[in-house]
Amino acid sequence: MKYGFMPALMWAAFRGTFENALRTELNVFNSKEVMKKSHRDYRQILADVDKFEKGSRFLVNILSCAMLSSVLLNLEQKPTVKQVQNYYRKAMSRNFFMRCAAKRSKSYTEKGRNALKAAAKKSQKITNPYDWKFTIVDGETINQYTATFYTCGICRLMTKLNLSEYIPAMCAFDYDMAAMNNTEFTREFTLAAGGPCCDCHYNYKGKRGMKLK
């Protein structure tokens, strides 16, 4: 399978909360059967996605998108966008691994910010249509920055799967993920809504950040 052990690890780590949220948020009571069928489609979806470069920051994003998409493709009743938003939010935010990952962000350290900028610079040369091109601009302190995205793998994949109406349901989780790390998240535009970019503004509310020159 592409990406080594990561797809299998992602499925194993999130299967439980995705299955539980099927029952609590979408009233799907044959959730085990749905997840079994979804696992098959999850692997097929990823088989058709261009391979990401080793160490890509966005591999988990495309894996979670493939996981949600595989579930949506196996539902007997078509859910609303709001229902999918609530479903994805619960499936992700109630997951132990997701909460840990959100709180371990290094973007508000000098070393982490430099790594983020290096990744942004490298992204300008990507040719994979399922990856993200973006730029990073510092705020007044290390606790603030803006990430501007000009391509989106989620938009690409869900559009290909005829699930584009549900892209905003995934986008909404950006606010929840930031909140888990005590970060204020705002944006004006999204690619999913036809905007020129996704302008993502982060303002960490933790320890006082040093002033940037």
98 belongs to a structural domain: yes
Cα dihedral 55, 171, 10, 106 in deg (nearest 10)? 50
Residue 16 CA to residue 48 CA, distance in Å, equals 25
pLDDT of residue 98: 87
Asked whether residue 160 is assigned to any structural domain, the reply reads yes
- How many domains does the chain divide into? 1
pLDDT in tens, 138-193: 999 999 999 999 999 999 999 999 999 999 999 999 999 999 999 999 999 999 99
Q: Residue 97 has which token pair?
A: 């691994």
* E strand or H helix that includes residue 183: strand 183-186
Query: Which distant-in-sequence residues (6+ apart) come within 8 Å of 204 by Cβ?
Result: 108, 143, 144, 181, 182, 183, 184
In a domain, 32, yes or no: yes
Q: What is the pLDDT of residue 60?
A: 93
3-class DSSP assignment, residue 196: coil
Asked if residue 211 belongs to a domain, the reply is no
Q: Please determine, for residue 77, whether its predicted confidence score (pLDDT) is greater than 90.
A: yes
Q: Where residue 208 falls among pLDDT bands split at 50, 70, 90?
A: low
Q: Is 104's pLDDT higher than 90? A: no
* Structure letter (DSSP) for residue 146: E
Global pTM value:
0.92
Q: Are 72 and 19 in contact (CB under 8 A)?
A: no
Whether 135 has a pLDDT exceeding 80, the answer reads yes
What is the pLDDT at residue 1? 44
Q: Kindly state whether residue 1 falls inside one of the protein's structural domains.
A: no
Q: Encoding tokens for residue 68?
A: 């949600």
Q: Which two tokens stand for residue 205?
A: 């509310």
For residue 51, give its domain range: 6-204
Residue 127 included in any domain: yes
Report pLDDT for 189. 96
122 inside domain: yes
Asked whether 34 and 73 are in contact (CB, 8 A), the reply is: no
Give the pLDDT confidence score for residue 105 in this predicted structure.
83
Give pLDDT, residue 207.
Answer: 72
Whether residue 35 is predicted with pLDDT greater than 90 in this model: the reply is yes
Q: Calculate mean pLDDT across residues 116-140.
A: 96
Domain assignment of residue 131, yes or no: yes
Q: Supply the pLDDT for residue 2.
A: 62
As a dihedral over the C-alpha atoms of residue 69, residue 73, residue 74, residue 77, rounded to 10 degrees, the angle is 110
